[in-house]
């Protein structure tokens, strides 16, 4: 077996002027997160960006993000998947440089024997998530052949509930369909975002990690109302031959080694 480090950056919510709300500067938070990667001695094998990358799907934000990601050191394989705040067509054209069209953005990348399958759970015009039949078939076809060191699945909408009721209401609507496709496969972790708070769970026995956001944090003590508070974090997922672990890494201007 081999060890892999996956770093997950989620819910960046870039805006054209870098400001999301008074005192909330998502671009600065992203730059701080990328700076952490630079300073850290652990170089990720895979860098995952799990959706809500631009707050209103503005093409200029994807151009900016693409330029920032080009500077990431260490040759990590970079995997991006859209969320409910993204615009599929702009995401595909300006971030991925992968032509036009608003079909689901489903992508598979490899790092040695590890496969990463990123699935588009966004539904244009909606905040909740659905994996449509085309996307589920894509995943099933990928998983039909096992990978030497297993598979990580990435999507924006968690297939788990949230204690924050408004977030639970806009989770992945067809988590059972995902569970059925994962059954008996080599998937060792499902990574999601969207909630702006970390959660760990399982779907049909497969571990699920919901990453915190870089843009801002959801206050989980407020369950009836979504309450945004300052705070920025990324996740590191260590995949080893003796077990896998997901860890929150707080990010701030003063953080990092
Ligand atoms: Fe978000
Ligand atoms: Fe979201």
Neighbours of ion ligand 1 (CB under 5 A): 11, 52
- On whether the pTM is more than 0.95, the answer is yes
The β-bridge relationship of strands 233-240 and 243-250 is: antiparallel
- Give the residue from 12, 81, 3, 13 showing the smallest Cα distance to 44: 3
Task: Give the whole-angstrom CA distance, residue 251 versus residue 237.
Answer: 16
- Domain spanning 4-250 has what CATH number? 3.60.21.10
Cα of 125 from ligand 1 centre, angstroms: 15
The per-residue pLDDT for range 176-214, each reduced to its tens digit, is 999 999 999 999 999 999 999 999 999 999 999 999 999
Cα of 220 from ligand 1 centre, angstroms: 15
Q: Say if residue 218's pLDDT is above 70.
A: yes
Task: Give the whole-angstrom CA distance, residue 50 versus residue 253.
Answer: 22
Task: Give the whole-angstrom CA distance, residue 159 versus residue 206.
Answer: 11
The per-residue pLDDT for range 37-68, each reduced to its tens digit, is 888 777 899 999 999 999 999 999 999 999 99
> Residue ranges of the domains in the chain?
4-250
Cα of 253 from ligand 2 centre, angstroms: 24
Cα of 143 from ligand 1 centre, angstroms: 28
- Give the residue from 139, 152, 151, 235 showing the smallest Cα distance to 195: 235
Sheet holding 243-250, edge to edge: 77-81, 46-50, 4-9, 233-240, 243-250
Q: Report which bound ligand comes closest to the CA of 20.
A: 1
């Amino acid at each position: 077996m081999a060890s892999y480090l996956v770093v997950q950056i989620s819910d960046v919510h870039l805006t054209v002027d870098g400001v999301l709300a008074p005192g909330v500067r998502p671009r600065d938070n992203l730059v701080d997160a990328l700076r952490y990667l630079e300073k850290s001695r652990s170089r990720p094998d895979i860098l995952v960006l799990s959706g809500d990358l631009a707050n209103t799907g503005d093409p200029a934000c994807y151009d900016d993000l693409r330029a920032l990601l080009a500077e990431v050191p260490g040759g990590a394989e970079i995997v991006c998947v859209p969320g409910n705040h993204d615009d599929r067509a702009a995401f595909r054209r300006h971030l991925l440089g992968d032509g036009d069209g608003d079909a689901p953005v489903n992508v598979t990348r490899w790092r040695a024997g590890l496969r990463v399958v990123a699935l588009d759970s966004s539904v244009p015009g909606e905040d909740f998530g659905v994996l449509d039949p085309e996307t589920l078939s894509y995943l099933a076809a990928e998983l039909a052949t096992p990978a030497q060191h297993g598979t990580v699945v990435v999507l924006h909408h968690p297939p788990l509930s949230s204690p924050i009721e408004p977030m639970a209401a806009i989770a992945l609507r067809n988590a059972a369909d995902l569970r059925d496709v994962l059954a008996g496969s080599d998937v060792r972790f499902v990574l999601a975002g969207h909630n702006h708070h970390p959660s760990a769970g399982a779907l049909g026995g497969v571990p699920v990690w919901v990453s915190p956001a870089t843009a801002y944090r959801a206050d989980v003590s407020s369950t009836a109302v979504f309450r945004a508070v300052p705070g920025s974090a990324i996740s590191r997922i260590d995949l080893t031959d003796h077990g896998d672990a997901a860890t929150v890494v707080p990010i701030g201007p003063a953080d990092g080694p």
